[in-house]
Amino acid sequence: MPYRSANINVMVRAAEKAGRALIRDFGEVEQLQVSRKGPADFVSTADTKAERIVRRELEKARPDFGLLMEEGGEIKGKDPDHRWIVDPLDGTTNFLHGLPHFAVSIGLEERGEIVAGVVYDPVKDEIFWAEKGIGAFLGDRRMRVSGRGRLADSLLATGIPYLGRQEGDGHRAFLAQLEAVMAQTSGVRRWGAAALDLAYVAAGRYDGFWETGLSPWDVAAGVILVREAGGYVSQIDNRAHKLDSPTILAANDRMHSEFVKLLRKRA
């Protein structure tokens, strides 16, 4: 069994507890109260309940750490060097439409660097976790990015712009990228949960993933999963990726440069 640090244990416990609450609410999804944050951007009582659970568990274990949460915003901690970054329900639109593909995502930031991450899929009961220098794991099994090295054999994931998101030029730019990828790869998937897309790259299920306009809580945990599984994470133009970067491209170590070339032609 791989070594799990105290911080990873805290994160796993919080994610699993929130995940159990989400599964209960998923069975009663038609009764949930839902509000809009913007066009096609929803928040439900399930989101806020899961976030309260995660926050309570994290604060109980590490009361001095700060928090950055999708629904609750930023809470400064007494410890200036550590911050939890939380998405309590990544894939809210899937959840509200009864699609069983969503996750709880928790990242740990230390002095501006993500050093640990947990992504929990409660429907499949899959826990993806990673810690800097330790590796990336699916449960107790070590993860490694895929070994595919040809565009024709590769499978990519992405996020598609929608109502209120990168309209106009953003939609046209995405369609140009999609056209380039469609012409040279074996397929593209769009499942609507960026944290799980990144976890799947780390697990070798996808060879790459790209998207624009994501928030820190969407990618914090997934980025370290990919890197600790031997993959590369950058912006689409190959510049270094930061939590506030406008784009992300994650891929296995053999294909990353090929995906950069493919997408930059149409960016």
pLDDT class of 40 with cuts at 50, 70, 90: very low
- The model's confidence at residue 208, banded by pLDDT at 50, 70 and 90, is very high
What's the pLDDT tens digit per position in 50-98? 999 999 999 999 999 999 998 789 999 999 999 999 999 999 889 988 8
The predicted pLDDT at position 31 comes to 64
Q: Indicate whether 128 pLDDT > 50.
A: yes
pLDDT top residue among 34 and 3:
3
* CA dihedral for 214, 216, 220, 223, sign (positive or negative): positive
pLDDT above 70 for 251: yes
Per DSSP bridges, beta strands 141-142 and 155-158 are unpaired
- What's the pTM value of the predicted model, to 2 decimals? 0.93
pLDDT tens sequence across 154-180: 999 999 887 655 555 678 888 888 898
CA angle 249, 146, 233 (to 5 degrees): 20
The pLDDT of residue 97 is: 86
Averaged pLDDT of the chain:
91
In this structure, the number of other CB atoms found within 10 A of the CB of residue 19 comes to 24
Is residue 203 within 8 Å of 88, Cβ to Cβ?
no
Whole-number pLDDT of residue 124: 98
Greater confidence, 109 or 29?
A: 109
Between 18 and 165, whose confidence is greater?
Answer: 18
Q: Do residues 230 and 253 make contact, with C-beta atoms less than 8 angstroms apart? A: yes
C-alpha closest to that of 207 among 249, 238, 252: 252
Residue 190 or residue 171, greater confidence: 190
Q: With cut-offs at 50, 70 and 90, classify the pLDDT of residue 42.
A: very low
Q: What domains are defined for the chain?
A: 6-142 (3.30.540.10), 151-264 (3.40.190.80)
Kindly tell me if the per-residue pLDDT of 38 is higher than 50: no
CA 91, chain centre distance (Å): 10
